Structure 1
Amino acid sequence: MKTPPVVSPQEWEAARRQLLVEEKRLTRARDALAAKRRRMPWLAVEKRYEFDGPEGRASLLDLFQGRRQLIVYRAFFEPGVFGWPDHACRGCSMVADHVGNLAHLHARDTTLVFASRAPQPDIERVKARMGWTIPWYTITDDFDTDFGVDEWHGTNAFIREGDSVFRTYFINSRGDEAMGNTWTYLDMTALGRQETWEDSPEGYPQTAPYAWWNWHDAYGDAETAPEWLAITRRATQDQTE
């Protein structure tokens, strides 16, 4: 590895303060972007959608659970997805692992739910195995296609005025990284995420993007499954085109 120089405490602090100027600039830019999101026009949801949930049929309005805002993460867990029927997609599973106590979202009148095409018995079984408590619904119609999440993953935000529902924002691809702290923690380390797309000094350890991801109870596996490597290659290509 071609490592950076080792310096005195004073030189190290000076270098950190130099980067801190850029970090504060980035924070202000992120705040400005969030302000623009709050001014995005709303899109009325005219179509009626239905889901299966732990307590039976539920409409999109029901998913709000009486709160003003709703966030729906479309997780890939269904027949044909790598890991089925024992697991959801590895990336979606990592996102689920990062969901904290939902009381904090609820305090701001906001509900978070996951949605997949897997039947409820399979969802409940995998939730129990992985220790997830997120409300997780089964998509039964064109919700995923209509809201841009019929492939890979994505997060839609909605708001309601009485019984009227509006779509307010949507993120997918690397935008969903903001939902997980593993990537943020790695970004502040010397080695970073250790993926080939990163601009790192010569000789730093790096592997293909996404290839190292795994279910949290399977990191002891000897090698990465070839099926997952094929998926990650396709995902990398899709996101760079």
Structure 2
Amino acid sequence: MKLNVVSADQWEAARQELLVKEKALTRARDAMAAERRRMPWMEVEKSYAFDGPGGKASLRDLFEGRRQLIVYRAFFEPGVHGWPEQACRGCSMVADQVAHLAHLNARDTTLAFVSRAPQTDIARLKARMGWEMPWYTVTDSFDTDFGVGEWHGTNAFFRDGDRVFRTYFIKSRGDEALGSTWSYLDMTALGRQEVWEESPEGYPQTPPYKWWNWHDSYTPGAAPDQRWVEVSDAGVTAFRKRAG
């Protein structure tokens, strides 16, 4: 491997040159997320049944009372390499990268995994691997109906009362970027729900940073911690001064 060793000034100049492109990529990613928030919705008119830790569950049940649902189809079933001790290696890497679910839940969003393995096998695998996401058993045509019958993929749904809508779908290499709270929220109909986002009129939006919390400290309906509001405001002010 040939090394390209330069001085500190040359290194910083090269970094600044690349930073221009990185910022453009960030803006393009934000613009793509804004387009997702304007995607048409497809109503899910068929009923689907899953097996869960508590017994039978419908697609609406997977929302756990929240408005948004993200469903990843993981391959853990007979015929998959590693069965029954392990799930698909790629799907297992996806599971390993999932951020703490409390942050998604705070944005009215639930993440769930589904597979065709029985619940006893899923429970054993989750305990062994340390995974905590809800994980259900597909019992019907849900996987084939939503583009994940023979390959992995991630579907986003929105619930309005008893009505459920499919709002977006990511598969193949698109799944590689998922796992963080931000990447999951960016694929949903409501996005991050922060005021800086370009969202359709009437979408829920709150100031950035203010809703953040320690994952064991979210309290539904609680006002933002005043000290954190002061700290985050000071950070925003300092950032704007540097940028300006």
TM-score of the aligned structures, taking structure 1 as reference length: 0.74
Determine the C-alpha separation between the residues in 2 that align with 1:133 and 1:33: 30
Residues 117-160 of structure 1 deviation map (CA, whole Å, 9 limit, x = unaligned): 00000000011111111100000000000000001200000001
- 1:104–1:180 Cα change, 3 Å: closer
Q: What's the counterpart of residue 140 of structure 2?
A: 141
Determine the C-alpha separation between the residues in 2 that align with 1:134 and 1:83: 21
Q: What's the counterpart of residue 217 of structure 1?
A: none
Q: Once the 2 structures are TM-superposed, how far is the Cα of residue 2 of structure 1 from its aligned partner? A: 2.9
Q: What's the counterpart of residue 165 of structure 1?
A: 164
Determine the C-alpha separation between the residues in 1 that align with 2:30 and 2:72: 22
Tell me if structure 1 keeps the 8 A contact 2:152–2:171.
yes
Residues 59-99 of structure 1 deviation map (CA, whole Å, 9 limit, x = unaligned): 00000000000000000000000110000000000111111
Q: Once the 2 structures are TM-superposed, how far is the Cα of residue 100 of structure 1 from its aligned partner? A: 1.9
Residues 1-33 of structure 1 deviation map (CA, whole Å, 9 limit, x = unaligned): 133x20000000000000000000000000000
Tell me the secondary structure at the aligned position of residue 26 of structure 2.
helix
Q: What's the counterpart of residue 27 of structure 2?
A: 28
Determine the C-alpha separation between the residues in 1 that align with 2:81 and 2:44: 32
Determine the C-alpha separation between the residues in 1 that align with 2:2 and 2:12: 21
Determine the C-alpha separation between the residues in 2 that align with 1:102 and 1:29: 26
What percent identity do the matched residue pairs reach? Answer: 77
Determine the C-alpha separation between the residues in 2 that align with 1:172 and 1:87: 22
Q: Work out whether 1:108 is the aligned partner of 2:102.
A: no
1:1-241 equivalent positions in 2, closer than 5 A: 1-3=1-3, 5-180=4-179
Tell me the secondary structure at the aligned position of residue 85 of structure 2.
coil
Q: Once the 2 structures are TM-superposed, how far is the Cα of residue 47 of structure 1 from its aligned partner? A: 0.1
Q: What's the counterpart of residue 195 of structure 2?
A: none
Tell me if structure 1 keeps the 8 A contact 2:99–2:179.
no
Tell me the secondary structure at the aligned position of residue 128 of structure 2.
helix
Tell me the secondary structure at the aligned position of residue 94 of structure 1.
helix
Determine the C-alpha separation between the residues in 1 that align with 2:179 and 2:63: 22
Structure 2: gaps (5+ residues): 181-244
Determine the C-alpha separation between the residues in 2 that align with 1:141 and 1:50: 7
Q: Once the 2 structures are TM-superposed, how far is the Cα of residue 179 of structure 1 from its aligned partner? A: 1.5
Structure 1: gaps (5+ residues): 182-241
TM-score of the aligned structures, taking structure 2 as reference length: 0.73
Tell me the secondary structure at the aligned position of residue 30 of structure 1.
helix
Tell me if structure 1 keeps the 8 A contact 2:157–2:167.
yes
Determine the C-alpha separation between the residues in 2 that align with 1:145 and 1:152: 10
Tell me the secondary structure at the aligned position of residue 100 of structure 2.
coil
Determine the C-alpha separation between the residues in 2 that align with 1:107 and 1:78: 32
Determine the C-alpha separation between the residues in 1 that align with 2:139 and 2:178: 25
Tell me if structure 1 keeps the 8 A contact 2:74–2:91.
yes
The runs of at least 4 aligned residues of structure 1 exceeding 2 Å deviation read: none
Tell me the secondary structure at the aligned position of residue 169 of structure 1.
strand
- 1:160–1:180 Cα change, 3 Å: closer
Determine the C-alpha separation between the residues in 2 that align with 1:180 and 1:141: 27
Q: What amino acid is aligned across from residue 91 of structure 1 in structure 2? A: G
Q: What amino acid is aligned across from residue 40 of structure 1 in structure 2? A: M
Determine the C-alpha separation between the residues in 1 that align with 2:143 and 2:179: 22
Comparing 33-42 with 91-100, greater Cα deviation is found at 91-100
Q: Once the 2 structures are TM-superposed, how far is the Cα of residue 101 of structure 1 from its aligned partner? A: 1.3
